[in-house]
Amino acid sequence: MHCPFHLAAFKRIPEMSSHRLASAISGIGTAASAPGNAGDRADSIVLAMSAADAFVHLAGQTSAEAVRRTRALRTKADPEVLHKLRVALRRLRSLWWAYEPLFDAKGARIQRSEFKSLANAAGKTRDWDVLRDLLLSAESMQHSFGSLLESVGEHRADALLFSRRTIRNAGVDQILQQALTGARHQLDARATTSPTLPLFAGERVELAETALKKRVKRAVSRKDSGYAALHEVRIAGKKLRYLLEFFSPVLDGSHQSTIERLSSVQDELGKLNDLVSSETLLREYSFQLGEPGVVKEAIRCLENQKKRHMCNAHKILRTAW
C-alpha cells in the first residue's frame, strides 16, 4: 500500500554512500558475534538521518541479530534461539512493510514472504515446545498425559532437525546481504524525492495504527467473532509495536505507554495463539500420537482453556482501544 506523502516534506538528500552500506552489511557478520548489539537502544536512529540512512541502520541491526541467532543454532539446539530468530525475521518483515512506498511494491512483498518462510521454519520446533508445556501444565491439574508427552517429544526432536537443516541450507547470511543491497539500490534511485524521516515514520506508524484499530473494531463488534479476527488483531498489533520500537526516537511525543499497552494485549493474544496452535497440532498428528482417547482428552482440555482466553481477549480489547 502506498502512503500519500506531502510534497512540502520532500527535500533533496544525498545517496547513501557505499561506505555506509558496506558497514551495514559487514555489521551482519561482526555484530553477530557480539550479544546484544542488534538491540542496543543507545545506538538508535536520530532526526538528522534521512529515511534511507535510517533504513540501513535499522535493517543492519536487525539482520545482525538474525544472523547471530542463525549461527548459534549450529552449535546449540536451544528453542529460545529459534524463538529469537523468528522474532528478528518478523521485525524485518515489518521494516520492509514500513519502507514499501520507497521500494518496488512487488519486490518488497516477495522479500517479506521470504522472511516469513524462514520464520515459519524456525517456528515449527517452538510449536511443539508450546504444546509440551501446555500438556505439562495440564498434568498438574489432574490430567495424565505421560504417553502423549513422549510422542510429542519425539515429534519435537524431528521438528528441531527440520528447523536447523532448513535454516542452515537457506543461507540466511546471503539472503540478508542481498536484501540489504537490493534495498539500497532502490533507495538510491529515489534519493532526490525521499521524504524526511520524521514525516515518513509518522505516516507509516499512523497507517499501521489505523489498520490495528479497524481490526480491533471488527473483532469486538460481533459477539460471534472467532479466533481468526483476534489473530488479525495480534498480527496488526505486532506490526505497530515493531514500528514504534524502530521509529520512536524520531516521532513526536512519547509512545512508551502505547508500546506497553500493545505488549499487554499481545500477551493475552499470544496465550490464545499458543492454545490454538497446540490444538491444531494435536488434531493434525492425532493418528501418530498414540492412544486416541488420551489425545481427545488433551484436545478437550485445550478447548476449555481456549474459550476462557478468547473471552479475556475480547474484554481487554474493548477497554484497550
Please tell me the distance from the alpha carbon of residue 147 to that of residue 196, in angstroms, as a whole number.
60
Overall average pLDDT of the 152-175 stretch: 92
Beta bridge partners of 196: 50
Task: Tell me the C-alpha to C-alpha distance, in Å, between residue 81 and each of 35, 75, 247.
Answer: 12, 11, 25
Supply the pLDDT for residue 290: 87
Average pLDDT, rounded, for the chain: 84
Measured in whole angstroms, the distance separating CA 202 from the mean position of its chain's CA atoms is 20
Q: What is the pTM of this model?
A: 0.84
> What are the respective helix, strand and coil percentages of the chain, to the nearest 5?
80, 0, 15
* Co-location of 163 and 281 in the same domain: no
Tens-digit pLDDT profile for residues 50-78:
999 999 999 999 999 999 999 998 887 78
Single-letter code of the amino acid located at 168:
R
Please tell me the distance from the alpha carbon of residue 207 to that of residue 30, in angstroms, as a whole number.
34
Total domains in the chain come to 2
Please give the grid coordinates belonging to residue 7.
510534497
Task: Tell me the C-alpha to C-alpha distance, in Å, between residue 293 and each of 11, 116, 150, 171.
Answer: 67, 35, 15, 43
Tens-digit pLDDT profile for residues 86-126:
999 999 999 999 999 999 989 999 999 999 999 998 888 88
Q: Is residue 5 part of a domain?
A: no
* Co-location of 255 and 280 in the same domain: yes
- Does residue 241 contact residue 261 with C-beta atoms inside 8 Å? no
- Does residue 61 contact residue 28 with C-beta atoms inside 8 Å? no
Q: Comparing 76-80, 134-138, 170-174, which segment has the lowest mean pLDDT?
A: 76-80
Q: Which of 172, 194, 216 is the last residue of a domain?
A: 194
Supply the pLDDT for residue 33: 42
Q: Which of 147, 163, 194 is the last residue of a domain?
A: 194
Supply the pLDDT for residue 27: 53
Overall average pLDDT of the 38-59 stretch: 80
Q: Which of 166, 194, 222 is the last residue of a domain?
A: 194
Nearest to 318 by CA among 226, 243, 231, 223: 223
Q: Residue 158 is part of which domain span?
A: 17-194
Encode burial over 76-111: b for 16+ CB neighbours within 10 A, e otherwise. Answer: eeebebbbbbbbbbbbbbbbbbbbbbbbeeeebeeb
Sorted by sequence, the CB contacts under 8 Å of residue 138 that are 6+ apart come out as 145, 298, 301, 302
Supply the pLDDT for residue 35: 42
pLDDT band at 23; cut points 50, 70, 90: low
Q: Which residue has the cell 555506509?
A: 20
* Co-location of 183 and 219 in the same domain: no
Supply the pLDDT for residue 9: 34
pLDDT band at 188; cut points 50, 70, 90: confident
Q: Tell whether the model's pLDDT for residue 276 goes beyond 70.
A: yes
- Does residue 253 contact residue 262 with C-beta atoms inside 8 Å? no
Q: Comparing 44-53, 185-194, 302-311, which segment has the lowest mean pLDDT?
A: 185-194
pLDDT band at 16; cut points 50, 70, 90: very low
Nearest to 120 by CA among 163, 76, 67: 163
Q: Comparing 17-21, 134-138, 151-155, 277-281, which segment has the lowest mean pLDDT?
A: 17-21
